[in-house]
């Protein structure tokens, strides 16, 4: 069998890859990488930085590329067959990773180099690489007895399977539900574009009427605009009850097992909890510091949140005579109150945010700040027709990166938005090998609009929230694209998890600036630039219900820490445990049918376990960093060059606080966030 994953390729050869290629390719590449590792351990020369640390760094490049293709497809374009293959590949990769990290001969060589590090005259980046390699081994079991190593292997294999099953269940539950409406009066309150999209979904499913799903572009507008409270309740309960039905797709046991195994693993490695293990390699350092950080923010945000909640409750009573607002009322009455206070709503704004123009806008911002130029190209292989591909070049016309962008929901694609890479930047054979970066989102699809004639198509129009999402993911993409390091494992977003959100979150700030909006916010029909009064209202409403939004984010961070900072083995009831964890942040009455943990993919499938706090942590950094741009001019080249030079291009080569201080000239001021959020 000719296997495209085993032949040399530049960009991922998606059109040539069939599902049957993955397992044999990854098996073979694991064996090839083992041979590379054997060559290092059997080297009779004294261990040096070059023949040991750099040599390890250079192993398994083909394997890394093949697995990145496979797991990215498992997130963005999966099916039953791919999910089945993932259940075979994940344990294989875990076993291989353990074979490497528990390899005594390999660790002995690293240890020898590590002990001499002060005498080796290494560059900052080389020191960081040595430090990270040594810790990768010492923190993951290299010093354990054979018996404990065997236990660690079992735990890791089990965890790799459980994480996959958790995610598969969430995707299946999301796809399973549909709200099928046949009576037009049940559409009351919904904007025309939302109704058209639901009609298109119904047509695709060969049904009469309108279909709403749990995909964000369908679910969020329904919750925000539908006047029918009973239907809002129905879809909200289904969304909140994903994988909490005591059926084949239930995740309660998976949650308990994942949390328990993570804790056991941490104990085995000599840590008090999973959070203690994780945070040792984060800016925040300890669970105590994280909890203190979250509690300080809670103290500031809670009074504001309670006041906002009371105002929202009073508004719902005045408008519709509702005495107690529930979770399915939140988005609906928030939107109504926002319209009343600011005379602004997403439906007024959406015509100015055509996806095509917002993409142009974010590209223009990148060009003005960092001298990047984006050209859509058709000669790069894609995994789906929706995907757009771009050559990214600098002012001299040199290739900086290749960018993939995938914007619309599909049954084989998980909810949410993320950035990932197919190839990391590195210095290779004296050449700067450039990265291949991808952003994946779930925005409303273009729809055929009957109102405008049988063939007229309404383009993809974004809510303002979706605009900030695109800028957020593009900020991550810039971090990957502008990487300029020697070693791939220190490149791009390979940084401390509570630093990785700085480039993404800072870019969101440009969405609120008149100077930026005038670049791309033009009406999709008339070409008219967004009216100044709308821009003012966007800025005015930026802190609308910010106390409640902050409390919500804090509740997620606190739930994450509750699961991961102490021994979970005594927890028998996932829901009861969650209710206690939410106690200090709860505004709405609890919904007994709902459980967040069973679909909290960030922490039970993604990489955010004991790290969800990092969104808020990075907000402190981004508010403080953007204050400098605002002071000097949001497109000030000098400030942009410093941000690119000290933050975006450096990856994980230096301590993040050192990089931040070099850019900013000072440590971050937490008051900048509170000021921006209107909480001071």
Residue that has been written with the tokens 């009831």 in this structure: 573
Element spanning 404, H or E: strand 399-406
What CA dihedral angle connects 58, 61, 62 and 64, to 10 degrees?
150
Phi, psi of 375 (to 5 degrees): -125, 120
Q: What single-letter DSSP state applies at residue 283?
A: T
What are the Cα distances from residue 394, in Å, to 11, 241, 369, 397, 400?
20, 47, 12, 5, 6
* Helix, strand, coil percent values for the chain (each to nearest 5): 60, 10, 30
610 in Cβ contact with 278 (< 8 Å): yes
Q: In what order do the strands lie in the sheet with 436-440?
A: 373-376, 388-393, 399-406, 436-440, 418-423
CA triple 602-605-606, angle to 5 deg: 50
Nearest to 559 by CA among 572, 547, 574: 574
Q: What single-letter DSSP state applies at residue 535?
A: H
The active-site residue, picked from 196, 473, 501, 546, is: 473
CB atoms within 10 A of CB 217: 22
Residue 367 burial (10 A CB sphere; 0-12, 13-18, 19+): middle
Measure the CA–CA gap between 93 and 637, rounded to whole angstroms: 44
Report helix, strand or coil for 420. Answer: strand
Bridging pattern class, strands 457-458 and 431-433:
unpaired
Nearest to 420 by CA among 400, 396, 441, 434: 441
Beta bridge partners of 615: none
414 in Cβ contact with 601 (< 8 Å): yes
Measure the CA–CA gap between 128 and 143, rounded to whole angstroms: 21
Q: Which two tokens stand for residue 444?
A: 């409303």
Q: Which two tokens stand for residue 353?
A: 């945010």
Residue that has been written with the tokens 């190839």 in this structure: 423
- The yes-or-no answer on residue 318 being catalytic is no
Q: What single-letter DSSP state applies at residue 590?
A: P
Q: What single-letter DSSP state applies at residue 265?
A: H
392 in Cβ contact with 398 (< 8 Å): no
Q: Cβ neighbours of residue 522 under 8 Å, at least 6 residues apart?
A: 352, 354, 357, 528, 529, 530
Q: Cβ neighbours of residue 49 under 8 Å, at least 6 residues apart?
A: 113, 120, 122, 126, 130
Report helix, strand or coil for 437. Answer: strand
Phi, psi of 674 (to 5 degrees): -60, -40
The alpha helices in 205-326, defined as continuous H runs, are: 216-225, 229-240, 252-268, 274-279, 287-320
Measure the CA–CA gap between 205 and 178, rounded to whole angstroms: 10
Measure the CA–CA gap between 444 and 218, rounded to whole angstroms: 8
504 in Cβ contact with 472 (< 8 Å): yes
Question: DSSP assignment of 164-232, as one string?
Answer: HHHHHHHHHHHHH-EEEE--GGGGTT--HHHHHHHHHHHHHTT-SSEEEESSHHHHHHHHHH---HHHH
Q: Which two tokens stand for residue 302?
A: 């809670």
Residues involved in catalysis: 473
């Amino acid at each position: 069998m000719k296997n495209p994953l085993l032949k040399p390729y530049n960009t991922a050869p998606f059109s040539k890859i069939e599902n049957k290629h993955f397992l044999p390719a990854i098996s073979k590449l694991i064996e090839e990488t083992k041979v590379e590792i054997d060559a290092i351990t059997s080297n009779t020369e004294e261990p040096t930085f070059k023949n040991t640390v750099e040599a390890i760094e250079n192993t398994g490049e083909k394997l890394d590329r093949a697995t990145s293709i496979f797991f990215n497809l498992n997130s963005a374009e999966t099916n039953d067959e791919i999910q089945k293959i993932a259940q075979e590949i994940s344990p294989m990769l875990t076993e291989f990773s353990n074979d490497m990290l528990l390899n005594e001969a390999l660790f002995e060589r690293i240890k020898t180099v590590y002990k001499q590090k002060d005498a080796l005259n290494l560059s900052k980046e080389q020191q960081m690489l040595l430090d990270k390699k040594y810790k990768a081994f010492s923190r993951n079991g290299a010093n354990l007895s054979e018996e404990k190593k065997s236990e660690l292997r079992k735990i890791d294999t089990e965890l790799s399977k459980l994480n996959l099953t958790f995610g598969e269940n969430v995707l299946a539950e999301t796809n399973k539900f549909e709200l099928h409406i046949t009576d037009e009066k049940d559409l009351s309150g919904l904007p025309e574009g939302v109704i058209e999209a639901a009609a298109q979904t119904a047509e695709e499913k060969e049904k009469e009427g309108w279909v709403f799903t749990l995909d964000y572009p369908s679910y969020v507008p329904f919750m925000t605009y539908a006047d029918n409270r009973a239907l809002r309740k129905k879809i909200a309960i289904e969304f909140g009850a994903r994988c909490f039905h005591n059926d084949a797709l239930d995740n309660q046991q998976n949650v308990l097992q994942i949390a328990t195994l993570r804790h056991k693993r941490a104990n085995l490695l000599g840590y008090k909890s999973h959070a203690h293990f994780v945070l040792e390699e984060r800016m925040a350092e300890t669970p105590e510091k994280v909890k203190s950080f979250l509690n300080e923010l809670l103290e500031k945000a809670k009074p504001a949140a309670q006041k906002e909640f009371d105002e929202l409750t009073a508004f719902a009573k005045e408008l519709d005579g509702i005495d107690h607002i529930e979770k399915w009322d939140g988005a609906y009455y928030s939107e109504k109150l926002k319209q009343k206070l600011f005379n602004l709503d997403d439906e007024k704004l959406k015509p100015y945010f055509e996806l095509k123009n917002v993409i142009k806008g974010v590209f223009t911002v990148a060009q003005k700040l960092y001298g990047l130029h984006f050209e859509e190209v058709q000669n790069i292989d894609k995994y789906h027709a929706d995907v757009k591909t771009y050559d990214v070049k600098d002012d001299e016309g040199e290739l900086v990166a290749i960018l993939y962008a995938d914007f619309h929901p599909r049954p084989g694609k998980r909810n949410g938005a993320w950035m990932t890479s197919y190839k990391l930047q590195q210095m290779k054979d004296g050449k700067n090998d450039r990265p291949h970066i991808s952003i994946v989102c779930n925005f409303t699809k273009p729809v055929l609009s009957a109102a405008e004639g049988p063939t007229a198509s309404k383009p993809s129009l974004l809510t303002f929230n979706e605009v900030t999402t695109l800028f957020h993911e593009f900020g991550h993409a810039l971090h990957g694209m502008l990487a300029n390091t020697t070693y791939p494992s220190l490149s791009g977003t390979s940084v401390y998890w509570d630093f990785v959100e700085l480039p993404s979150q800072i870019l969101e700030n440009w969405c609120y600036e008149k100077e930026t909006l005038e670049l791309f916010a033009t009406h999709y029909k008339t070409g008219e630039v967004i009216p100044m009064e709308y821009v003012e209202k966007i800025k005015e409403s930026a802190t609308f219900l910010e106390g409640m939004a902050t409390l919500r984010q804090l509740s997620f961070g606190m739930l994450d820490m509750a699961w991961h900072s102490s021994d979970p083995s005594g927890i028998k009831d996932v829901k009861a445990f969650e209710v206690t964890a939410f106690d200090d942040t709860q505004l709405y009455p609890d919904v007994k049918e709902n459980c967040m943990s069973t679909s909290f993919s960030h922490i039970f499938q993604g990489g955010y376990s004991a790290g969800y706090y990092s969104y808020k942590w990075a907000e402190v950094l981004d508010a403080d960093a953007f204050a400098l741009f605002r002071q000097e001019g949001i497109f000030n080249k000098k400030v942009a060059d410093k941000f690119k030079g000290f933050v975006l291009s450096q990856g994980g080569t230096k301590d993040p606080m050192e990089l931040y201080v070099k850019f900013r000239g000072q440590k971050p001021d937490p008051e900048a966030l509170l000021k921006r959020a209107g909480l001071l």
